[in-house]
Chains A and B, each alone.
Chain A
Amino acid sequence: MKRRTVLGAAAGLAATHLKYGRLIREAAASEDVEADVLVIGAGASGAASAWRLASQGFKVVCLEQGDWLDHLEIPSTKDDWELVRQREWNPSPNVRGLPADYPVNDSDSPIKALMYNAVGGTTLMWSCHAPRFHPSDFKTNSLDGVGANWPLSYWDLEPYYDLNDKMCGISGLSGDPSNPPRSARQRAPMPIGKGAARLASAMDDMGWHWWPNDVQALSSAYGEETGDCNNCGPCEVACPVRAKGSTDVTYWPKALDAGIRLITKARVFEIETDANGNAVGAAYYDRNKVARRVRAKRVIVAANGIGTPRLLQLSVSKKHPNGLANGSGLVGRNLMLHPIALVTGLFDEDLEGYKGITANCITSQEFYETDDSRDYKRGYMVQFLRSFGPVLTSLAGYGVPVPWGEKHHSRFLDVFNHTASAGIVCEDIADPDNRITLDSDLTDGDGIPAPKMTYTLSENSKNMLAHGIESCTKIMENAGAKEVHNIELVEQAGWHLMGTARVGDDPEQSVLNKWNQAHDVPNLYVVDGSAFATAAAVNPTNTLQALALRAADHIAQTRGEL
C-alpha cells in the first residue's frame, strides 16, 4: 500500500515537471515583460506572496535565480547520500558552489551563512519546523528593554499564520500551554520516536515544558501532489515523496495555476527606479547571461536576509545614493541569526535515531521568556534532534567523537543510534554592527558583487547559550545518559537570516512600515526574514510566510493606487 502511494506520487511528479518544463522553455525564450507585481525570489515568502496576489487577479511575474529541483534525483535515494549532502547538497553556498549560488564572504562571522537557491529556496533544505512567534516577540523593547518593537502584533499576524497553515498543511497538536491557543492542526503529529519519548518523560519528571512540534511535513497526505511522510530522516536533502512543505510543492503548483509567470535561472542585479525614486521593475541576467528587464508597478523582494540587502545595496541611483530604501542607513544592519549550541546524550538503549525527521520532533519552550534572575535578556527554545546515518556518526555528527584505530568499531556501535540531542536556539538581540555589506572583491558567476557578513556573538547570547547547555545537560542526565557532550556554538547554523531591512514605525529607525512597505519607496516591499524587527527564539519560516501573505493583501487592498 505504501509503495503504491510512493509510485503514485512519482507519477504525479513527472506530470508536474512536464507542465513546469513548458513554462521553463517559455521563460527561456522570453523578452522583456511587464507585470502588476514583480516578485524577486521563489522561496518561502516569495511563493506565498506571489500566490496570494495571483489568486486575486494580479498579473505577477517572479524571477528566481535557481531552477526547479527534480525530487526524484535527490541524494537520499542513493547509497552515497551522506557524502553528497556534504558537497553538492551542502547547505553552504560557499561549499556547494552551484551555478545558481552566489558566494558569501562569512569569514568575519563565527556562524556561517546557509541557504539554497532554487524554486522553493531554502525550504528545499529545511527541517519543516513551523512554530509561531510569541506575542511577546513583537514587543521586546517595551517588555524587556531590548531590541525593537514591531509595528504590528501577534494578533495582527494570527489570521495569516492560520492561512499559511491551511495552505501548507501542518502536522501537530493544538493545546500547547507555552503558546496562545490555535486551531486544530491539519494533520496528526509526527511520530516522536524512542529518543524524544525518553527525553519527554524526563522533562515531565522535572516539571519542564515540552510539546510535539508543528511541522510542515505531512504525517498523511494533504491535498494533491503530496504524499505521506515515510520517516526517512534527512529532510535537509529535499523530499522525493513530496511530504515536506517546500514551496515548490505547497505554493507553486497553485500559484502557477493562478497564472503567475515564473522565470527561472534569472539573477536580478538591480531594482530599477524612475526619476522620482519609485521602483519600476528589475534588471536581470537570464539563463543565457543576457541582460533583460521586467517592468512592474510594484516590486516585492523575497531574496532572504542576505540576498535582499545585497540587492538593495546594489540598486544605487541619484535618488537612492546609498542603496534603495536606505534613507535610514539600516539596510544590511541589525543582522540577526539564531546562535545554536548542541547537547548530546549517549544512552545504553538503541534509540533508532535514524527514524523520523532528523532535526525535528519535540521542543521545549520552558526558558523562552526573560527571567530577571538570569544574566541575559529574552530566552531560547530547545529543539530536540535525532541522530545521523553511519558516515556522519563516524564523523562525530552531533559532537560525540569516534576515534580511529582499534577502538573505532566498538565506539561506533556504542554511539550509532544511541544518541539524542538538544539544539539550544537562542533569540538574538539586534546589533547595528552585525551587518551585510557588499564585498569589495568577491563576485558571483555573473560578476555581481557578493555579500559580506560581519557578525559578533553578543555577551547576552553567550550567557544564554551557557544557560541552555546547563539546562539540557540536566535533561540528558535525568533521562539516563551515560555520557553528555556539547558543542558551545554550532558554526554551520546560519539558516535563519533576519533583520537586515526591518519593519518599524519610525523611518529613521527602520526600513519598512507595518505592511512591509519601504518607507522611502512606497511601491517596494520586502517580505523575507530581512523584515523582522526581532528574531524570537523560533524558526522564522512560518512567520515570514505569514508576513508575506499579509503584505500581499495590503497590495490588493490598495490596488487602486497602482
Chain B
Amino acid sequence: MPSSNVDTPNTDILAAVMNAILPGGDGFPSARPQRFGSAMMADAAKDNDTEMVRDLLSKLPETFVALEPGDQVAALQTLEASETVAFSKMIRHAYHAYYTDSDVRSAIEEITGYPARPPHFEGYEMEPFDAKVVAVQRQREPFWRKV
C-alpha cells in the first residue's frame, strides 16, 4: 500500500532508501546518515527533480522503513521496474551525493590510492613517454594511401 503522503521526504524513508542503494562495505561507508539524503535532495533540486523524487518515494510501501533489508531491495526493484526513468534519475542524484562526500572520497583514497582532491592544481605524476614502446611500429613500412 502506498504511503499516504510524503510532502517533504520523510528523513527515515530517505535514509533507508539511501542505505539500500549504497549500503556500505568493502571499506565504504553506508549512505544511511542524514547528510547523504540531504545531499541527494539538494542535487535533485539542481535539475528540478525534487518533486519527482518525492513522488517516487511516496510510491514505496508505508512500512518501507521497517522492512527487512531484502524486502526493502525488493520494493525498490519493483519501483525501478515501474518507474524506470525517474528511478534512474534518483540513482544518479544518489551517486552524485555519495561520491562527492568527503568521507567517501577518503575511503576511495585509502582503498585505491586515488587522491581525495580535485585534479587541479597538483595533477598526477606519470612516467614520461619512452620511445622504446614504438620499436615494433617503427619497423613497419609506411602504409598511408598514396594519392
Q: A residues near B, CB below 8 A?
A: 2-3, 6, 74, 76-83, 87, 134-136, 138-139, 143, 153-154, 173, 175-181, 188-193, 197, 200, 204, 209-212, 219, 229-234, 240-241, 350, 352, 354-356, 369, 389-391, 394-395, 404-406, 408-410, 412-413, 416-417
The stretch from B4-12, B60-68, B114-122 touching chain A is B114-122
Q: How far is the CA of A74 from the CA of B119 in the complex (A)?
A: 11
Given A154-B147, A193-B126, A230-B124: A408 touches B21 (CB 8 Å cut-off): yes
Given A77-B121, A405-B21: A200 touches B147 (CB 8 Å cut-off): no
Given A87-B46, A369-B145: A413 touches B120 (CB 8 Å cut-off): no
Residues of A within 8 A of B20 (CB): 404-405
| B92 and A231 within 8 A (CB) | no
Encode B88-102 as 1/0 by CB contact (under 8 A) with A.
000110111011101
Given A78-B118, A191-B129: A413 touches B124 (CB 8 Å cut-off): no
Residues of A within 8 A of B127 (CB): 191
Residues of A within 8 A of B129 (CB): 173, 188-192, 212, 219
Residue of B nearest to A153 (CB): B147
The 8 closest A-B pairs by CB, nearest first: A230-B123, A232-B119, A191-B126, A135-B147, A189-B129, A204-B136, A355-B124, A409-B26
Q: How far is the CA of A135 from the CA of B146 in the complex (A)?
A: 7
Would you mind naming 9 contact pairs between A and B with Cβ atoms under 8 Å apart?
A83-B100, A138-B147, A177-B140, A177-B142, A178-B143, A188-B128, A209-B137, A231-B124, A409-B25
Chain B: number of interface residues, binned into ranges: 35 or more
Q: How far is the CB of B115 from chain A (nearest CB, A)?
A: 9
| B105 and A390 within 8 A (CB) | yes
Residues of B within 8 A of A76 (CB): 118-120
Q: How far is the CA of A87 from the CA of B96 in the complex (A)?
A: 12
Q: How far is the CA of A120 from the CA of B117 in the complex (A)?
A: 28
Q: B residues near A, CB below 8 A?
A: 20-28, 43, 46-47, 73, 76, 91-92, 94-96, 98-100, 102, 104-105, 108, 111-114, 117-129, 131, 133-134, 136-138, 140-147
Residues of A within 8 A of B141 (CB): 177
Q: How far is the CA of A194 from the CA of B14 in the complex (A)?
A: 41
| B95 and A394 within 8 A (CB) | yes
Residues of A within 8 A of B108 (CB): 390, 416
| A408 and B92 within 8 A (CB) | no
Overall SS of chain A's interface? loop
Q: How far is the CA of A192 from the CA of B111 in the complex (A)?
A: 24
In-complex Cβ contact of B25 among A178, A233, A406 (8 A): A406
Residues of A within 8 A of B146 (CB): 135
Known: A79-B117, A394-B98. 19 other contacts (CB 8 A): A3-B121, A6-B121, A77-B121, A143-B147, A177-B137, A177-B144, A178-B142, A192-B133, A230-B121, A241-B121, A350-B113, A354-B119, A354-B124, A356-B124, A390-B114, A404-B94, A405-B20, A405-B73, A413-B111
In-complex Cβ contact of B125 among A83, A154, A192, A231 (8 A): A231
Residues of B within 8 A of A82 (CB): 99-100
Residue of A nearest to B145 (CB): A136
In-complex Cβ contact of A231 among B28, B121, B123 (8 A): B123
Q: How far is the CB of A87 from chain B (nearest CB, A)?
A: 7
Residue of B nearest to A234 (CB): B119
| A191 and B147 within 8 A (CB) | no
| A350 and B126 within 8 A (CB) | no
Q: How far is the CA of A403 from the CA of B69 in the complex (A)?
A: 16
| B100 and A80 within 8 A (CB) | yes
Residue of B nearest to A406 (CB): B23
Residues of A within 8 A of B24 (CB): 409
Q: How far is the CB of B45 from chain A (nearest CB, A)?
A: 12
| A180 and B144 within 8 A (CB) | yes
| B91 and A404 within 8 A (CB) | yes
In-complex Cβ contact of B144 among A83, A178, A188 (8 A): A178
Q: How far is the CB of A427 from chain B (nearest CB, A)?
A: 13
With a 10 A CB-CB cut-off, give which of B24, B113, B118 has the most chain A CB atoms: B118
| A395 and B92 within 8 A (CB) | yes
| B92 and A81 within 8 A (CB) | no
Given A76-B120, A134-B144: A191 touches B25 (CB 8 Å cut-off): no
Q: How far is the CB of A525 from chain B (nearest CB, A)?
A: 26
Given A135-B145, A354-B114, A394-B95: A204 touches B21 (CB 8 Å cut-off): no
Residues of B within 8 A of A191 (CB): 126-129
| B119 and A143 within 8 A (CB) | no
Q: How far is the CA of A408 from the CA of B29 in the complex (A)?
A: 12
| A391 and B95 within 8 A (CB) | yes
Q: How far is the CA of A409 from the CA of B95 in the complex (A)?
A: 12
Q: How far is the CA of A231 from the CA of B126 in the complex (A)?
A: 7
Residues of A within 8 A of B105 (CB): 79, 390
Q: How far is the CA of A319 from the CA of B119 in the complex (A)?
A: 54
Q: How far is the CA of A209 from the CA of B20 in the complex (A)?
A: 47
| B145 and A177 within 8 A (CB) | no
Q: How far is the CA of A168 from the CA of B79 in the complex (A)?
A: 53
Q: How far is the CB of B10 from chain A (nearest CB, A)?
A: 20
| A139 and B147 within 8 A (CB) | yes
Q: How far is the CA of A394 from the CA of B31 in the complex (A)?
A: 15
In-complex Cβ contact of A408 among B22, B76, B119, B147 (8 A): B22
Given A143-B147, A390-B105, A416-B114: A211 touches B134 (CB 8 Å cut-off): yes
Q: How far is the CB of A215 from chain B (nearest CB, A)?
A: 11
| B96 and A410 within 8 A (CB) | no
Residue of B nearest to A229 (CB): B123
Residues of A within 8 A of B119 (CB): 76, 81, 232-234, 354, 389
Given A404-B21, A404-B91: A232 touches B124 (CB 8 Å cut-off): yes
| B144 and A211 within 8 A (CB) | no
Q: How far is the CB of B109 from chain A (nearest CB, A)?
A: 10
Residues of A within 8 A of B46 (CB): 87
Q: How far is the CB of B53 from chain A (nearest CB, A)?
A: 15
Q: How far is the CA of A395 from the CA of B97 in the complex (A)?
A: 12
With a 10 A CB-CB cut-off, give which of B117, B126, B142 has the most chain A CB atoms: B126
Q: How far is the CA of A135 from the CA of B98 in the complex (A)?
A: 50
Residue of B nearest to A204 (CB): B136
Q: How far is the CB of B69 from chain A (nearest CB, A)?
A: 8
| B133 and A200 within 8 A (CB) | yes
Q: How far is the CB of B20 from chain A (nearest CB, A)?
A: 7
